[in-house]
Amino acid sequence: MCGIVGAVAQRDVCPILLEGLKRLEYRGYDSAGIAVLNGNHKLERVRVLGKVQDLVTSLSAQPLHGGTGIAHTRWATHGKPSIENAHPHVYKEKIALVHNGIIENHEPLRQQQKQHGFDFNTETDTEVIVNQIEYYLRTGQDLLQAVFNTVDDLEGAYSLGIICTDEPGRIIAARSGSALVIGVGIGEYFIASDIFALLPVTQQFIILEEGDIADIQRDQLRIYDKNHQAVIRQIIISQQVAEAVDKAGYRHFMLKEIFTQPLAIAETLEGRLADGLVVESAFGMRAATIFDQAEAIDIVACGTSYHAGLVAKYWLEATAGIPCQVEIASEFRYRRKVVSRNSLFVTISQSGETTDTLAALELAKTLNYISTLAICNVPESSLTRASELVFLTHAGPEIGVASTKAFTTQLTALFMLMILLARRRGLTSEQEKGLVHHLETLPGKINLALDLNQQLSELAERFADKHHALYLGRGSMLPVAMEGALKLKEISYIHAEAYAAGELKHGPLALVDNDMPVIAVAPNNQLLEKLKSNLQEVRARGGKLYVFTDTDVNIQASEDISMIRMAPVPDCIAPIVFTVPLQLFAYHIAVLKGADIDQPRNLAKAVTVE
């Protein structure tokens, strides 16, 4: 799962490639590299172990210049993060190639190539591609023909950018299973893993389709489909703007994004409410017809987005009375699914590029769902393009790898979906107005939760030396507890698990002792008394409790109980508001541990591999 960018132009393309890499770094950041064909048509390459900024630093000491180039930021799959394994990969000083994806048959290809006398310098699956191209070039084929033949030999997923000293001024790009776009400039072309990478240089894009191969020269673009037949692909004008993404004075993007949530939710609601009711067309032109037919909802997503789906299940079944199943995309895509009559398939994704979620959607299209709905933050992403109905969360770019504002805006969108489906099952306009009113109070309520920042930062100090933590919740607070645990583990590297509080006595209670902090998400709802009993079970075993609750809940702080009290929140929106202090808590613990908050180890923002 990596980011690739390339350019062919009359000007020096290096600054374009580096800016593109910075914008793609959310896809991986363990190593980075660039290769260009310089003024003498010689291949020059620089690679670093580390982040794009390290590549920039290295290039300032050893500048490259050229009109044709490719670059890459890596998230290691095959082979550890190292300079040798960093892309671009080359054949001698002749061909350079960047790859995003996984070549599944790299082993047999490697064996064949060894027999043909090829050497290997890396542990990657990618090196076989560059060798295979050379193999075909030796038979007298030109670069395009050699790539045609090479991709026919590949199994797996790839997007590729390839340059060759024999044919300067030309990039061959290929897409199969990993997104790739072409940016159209004036007398210049670009390629990248997403549109965002190229927004500083163009608003015009061609989204390559599965199996497409593009032959790109400065003044000419030809695209071939998976059968290698020439095709015309439409140019789209992106509505996105190349806004500068900065930390706005915050220490980390994650903190900025946590504090932006009141605004982000206001943006999600903007234009989606009228006269105190939800505007149906916010979900797409055919939303009304499809929602009329829907008798069941299947939600599929990964990670934080999956947790949003789990909250929605409680809402949809309790308030809309519609059956809802929620599943992790990587499981859904490989099992035989029985689809209930008139089911709507819903995906949730911040990036819209998560491979498992995309694959689940493709599978769902072959099953008898009535339609597909994507709840997504990134316009023009693969997910939104492949779904019939789309709700854009409008949260703005989320840079921190740990998802924060994407989650609370997804929940806001799902709450609106719940209202629209409940409307068809007896929710009156008055009741709907009441729910919408709660939505409109969200920015204010979240601002109050953000006021707990200082208290949470102090509380974090008691936590930073811990190695494990248990999160507890009941009802719709269980997925919130799961999300809190995920935030803690991914940015602080403290092992954290979430359990339904009632499940504690069935096993996890054995873990509780003086060293096991237990975090309970305990708003004042009808399950509170049950949860309090579960907390007593923890206290009786010497566990240390951190209780996130309302100001009007009657639990006293003591030596073994720390209370984090929020302003009272209506039950229906409590999952959204209670998420915020859990995000801040995880953030402060991770800061104390000196972790890389925005780019935690081993992770990437968009997971574009299986």
Chain residues that interact with ligand F6R, rule: CB under 6 A: 302-305, 349-351, 354, 357, 402-403, 486, 490, 606-607
Q: Please report, to the nearest 10 degrees, the dihedral formed by the alpha carbons of residues 452, 260, 194, 241 taken in order.
A: -170
Q: Minimum CB separation from ligand F6R for residue 159, in Å?
A: 17
SS (H, E, C) 35-54: EEECCCCCEEEEEEECCHHH
C-alpha dist (Å) from residue 485 to 109, 481, 521: 42, 6, 11
- For residues 70 and 37, what is the distance between their CA atoms, to the nearest angstrom? 9
- In DSSP terms, 164 is beta-bridged to 95
Q: Minimum CB separation from ligand F6R for residue 375, in Å?
A: 10
C-alpha dist (Å) from residue 217 to 8, 37, 63, 66, 199: 6, 13, 24, 14, 20
Query: Which residue has the CB atom at the shortest distance from ligand F6R?
Result: 303
Backbone angles phi, psi at 82, to 5 degrees: -160, 165
Helix (H) or strand (E) holding 183: strand 181-184
- For residues 508 and 506, what is the distance between their CA atoms, to the nearest angstrom? 7
Q: Minimum CB separation from ligand F6R for residue 373, in Å?
A: 15
Query: Token digits for 142?
Result: 């030109």
- For residues 583 and 488, what is the distance between their CA atoms, to the nearest angstrom? 8
Helix (H) or strand (E) holding 315: helix 303-315
Pick between residue 354 and residue 525 the one whose CB is nearest to ligand F6R.
354
Q: Please report, to the nearest 10 degrees, the dihedral formed by the alpha carbons of residues 373, 375, 377, 379 taken in order.
A: 10
Q: Minimum CB separation from ligand F6R for residue 403, in Å?
A: 3
Q: Minimum CB separation from ligand F6R for residue 410, in Å?
A: 8
Q: Minimum CB separation from ligand F6R for residue 153, in Å?
A: 31
- What's the sign of the alpha-carbon dihedral 491, 391, 272, 270? positive
CB-CB neighbours of 368 under 10 Å: 10
Q: Minimum CB separation from ligand F6R for residue 317, in Å?
A: 23
Q: Minimum CB separation from ligand F6R for residue 240, in Å?
A: 17
C-alpha dist (Å) from residue 530 to 269, 507, 537: 34, 18, 11
Catalytic residue annotation: 2, 605
Nearest to 365, CA basis, from 336, 335, 386, 340: 386
C-alpha dist (Å) from residue 599 to 30, 50, 179, 270, 573: 10, 11, 22, 31, 30
- Angle, nearest 10°, between helix axes 14-24 and 52-61? 160
Q: Minimum CB separation from ligand F6R for residue 253, in Å?
A: 13
Pick between residue 68 and residue 404 the one whose CB is nearest to ligand F6R.
404
- For residues 209 and 151, what is the distance between their CA atoms, to the nearest angstrom? 15
CB neighbours of 433 closer than 8 A, spacing ≥ 6? 276, 277
Pick between residue 357 and residue 371 the one whose CB is nearest to ligand F6R.
357
Q: Please report, to the nearest 10 degrees, the dihedral formed by the alpha carbons of residues 205, 207, 211, 213 taken in order.
A: 0
Query: Token digits for 258?
Result: 């946590």
Question: b/e per residue, 204-220, with b = 16+ CB within 10 A?
Answer: ebbbbeeebbbbbebee
Pick between residue 167 and residue 483 the one whose CB is nearest to ligand F6R.
483
Q: Minimum CB separation from ligand F6R for residue 539, in Å?
A: 31
Q: Minimum CB separation from ligand F6R for residue 360, in Å?
A: 11
Question: b/e per residue, 271-309, with b = 16+ CB within 10 A?
Answer: ebbeeeebebebbbeebeebbeebebbbbbbbbbbbbbb
**8 A C-beta contact, residue 179 and residue 193:** yes
Pick between residue 68 and residue 608 the one whose CB is nearest to ligand F6R.
608
Residue reference for tokens 């500083």: 200
What is the largest distance, in Å, between two alpha-carbon atoms of the chain?
81
**8 A C-beta contact, residue 587 and residue 463:** no
